[in-house]
């Protein structure tokens, strides 16, 4: 049995609700360190739990992740609570801030508790971007356009996740909400100087880092007054700003290397090299088996950050005690939230 410390930096996806024979071999490759689930992998909770158990039998230390934000971005739905968009909490906050903060904590707990019940380690949540101008890709995925509101609600959400045994991942550093364009299909640019970004979009990240945020996901967005490279491939952003200036010591996940926003870095091997060299600890490669096999067959990564393994081990899910009564109460609150707005 391989140690958790033997895992590589790649996070790959699967084709369906069960592991195919060829996928077993992929998961056993030493450069693979995680699996990300999508809707095509998900049925009701017993099926998801069985799939995760299959993954664990291949490599016990693999991180299993999913995007389970709520609203438009919720991969596991059948038998899981349909979570509202985070913006609903921001809207409630304008009238009942204490109620909104309490609900943020409980929704963070519920989301994480349901995932921990099927042994998923990570939900890439919460979104710390500002709901400023990017309705196309961020929009109601953000708590609010106000950095202070985003911070308060995110702190509560992260605390709820932690209570349920899950480490949070704030995304998309240093902020994707104030640019137009979708990094899935293009490389967005934010022309503002660093000082303006620090004063607005980066405020929730800075505040959560001070409170011990376990992980961030870096944005495929270029901020040309700071660096000509997207943040996800930028030593300036990840090394100088995030690690040194903010003092962040958690894990850094790159956004999906197959997204168009990463395309300017070259082929898949060049993208992986650049992300690892910039300071990313784990590199998701999604929706392209060709990209995965090219990395497993031809990539020879440079020396990894010696602290990366420790940071990623800290993202493993912790035991969560089931509380069906509380689950029912929070589900009822979800329905009430929609009627409050």
Q: What is the CATH number of domain 6-340?
A: 3.20.20.300
Query: In the predicted model, what is the mean pLDDT of residues 227-246?
Result: 97
Over residues 31-42, the pLDDT tens digits come to 999 999 999 999
Query: In the predicted model, what is the mean pLDDT of residues 149-161?
Result: 98
Q: Catalytic residue, from 121, 255, 256, 281: name it.
A: 255
Over residues 92-134, the pLDDT tens digits come to 999 999 999 999 999 999 999 999 999 999 999 999 999 977 5
Question: 252 pairs with which residues across the strands?
Answer: 216
pLDDT at 341: 63
pLDDT at 1: 32
Distance CA 248, CA 127 (A): 17
* Residue 29 annotated as catalytic: no
Tokens 């909770």 -> residue:
45
Over residues 50-70, the pLDDT tens digits come to 999 999 999 999 999 999 999
Q: pTM of the full predicted structure?
A: 0.94
Cis before 174? omega within 30: yes
HSE (CB half, 13 Å, CA atoms) of 312?
Answer: 29
* Residue 255 annotated as catalytic: yes
Tokens 């009430």 -> residue:
336
pLDDT at 285: 97
Average pLDDT, whole number, for the chain? 93
Task: Please report which confidence band the pLDDT of residue 165 belongs to, taking 50, 70 and 90 as the band edges.
Answer: very high
Q: Catalytic residue, from 119, 182, 184, 305: name it.
A: 184
In angstroms and rounded to an integer, the radius of gyration of the C-alpha atoms of the chain is: 19
């Amino acid at each position: 049995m391989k140690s958790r410390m033997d895992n590589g930096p790649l996070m790959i996806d699967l084709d369906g609700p069960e592991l195919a024979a060829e996928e077993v071999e992929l998961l056993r490759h030493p450069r693979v360190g995680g699996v990300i689930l999508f809707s095509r992998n998900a049925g009701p909770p017993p099926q998801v739990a069985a799939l995760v158990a299959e993954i664990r039998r291949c490599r016990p230390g693999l991180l299993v992740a999913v995007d389970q934000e709520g609203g438009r971005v919720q991969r596991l739905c059948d038998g899981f609570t349909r979570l509202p968009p985070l913006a609903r909490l921001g809207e409630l906050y304008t009238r009942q801030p204490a109620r909104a903060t309490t609900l943020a904590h409980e929704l963070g707990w519920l989301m994480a508790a349901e995932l921990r019940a099927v042994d998923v380690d990570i939900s890439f949540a919460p979104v710390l971007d500002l709901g400023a101008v990017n309705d196309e890709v961020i929009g109601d995925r953000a708590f609010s356009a106000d950095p202070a509101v985003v911070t308060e609600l995110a702190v509560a959400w992260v605390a709820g996740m932690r209570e349920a045994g899950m480490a949070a991942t704030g995304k998309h550093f240093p902020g994707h909400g104030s640019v137009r364009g979708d990094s899935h299909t293009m490389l967005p640019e934010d022309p503002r100087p660093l000082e303006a970004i620090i004063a607005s979009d980066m405020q929730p990240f800075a505040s959560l880092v001070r409170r011990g945020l376990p992980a961030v996901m870096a944005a495929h967005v270029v901020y040309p007054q700071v660096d000509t490279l997207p943040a996800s491939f930028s030593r300036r952003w990840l090394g100088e700003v995030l690690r040194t200036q903010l003092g962040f010591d958690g894990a850094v996940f790159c956004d999906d290397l197959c997204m168009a926003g990463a395309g300017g870095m070259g082929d898949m091997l060049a993208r992986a090299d650049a992300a690892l060299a910039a300071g990313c600890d784990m590199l998701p490669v999604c929706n392209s088996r060709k990209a995965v096999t090219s990395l497993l067959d031809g990539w020879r990564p440079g020396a990894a950050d010696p602290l990366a393994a420790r940071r990623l081990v800290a993202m493993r899910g912790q035991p969560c005690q089931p509380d069906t009564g509380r689950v029912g109460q929070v589900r009822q609150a979800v329905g009430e939230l929609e009627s409050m707005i």
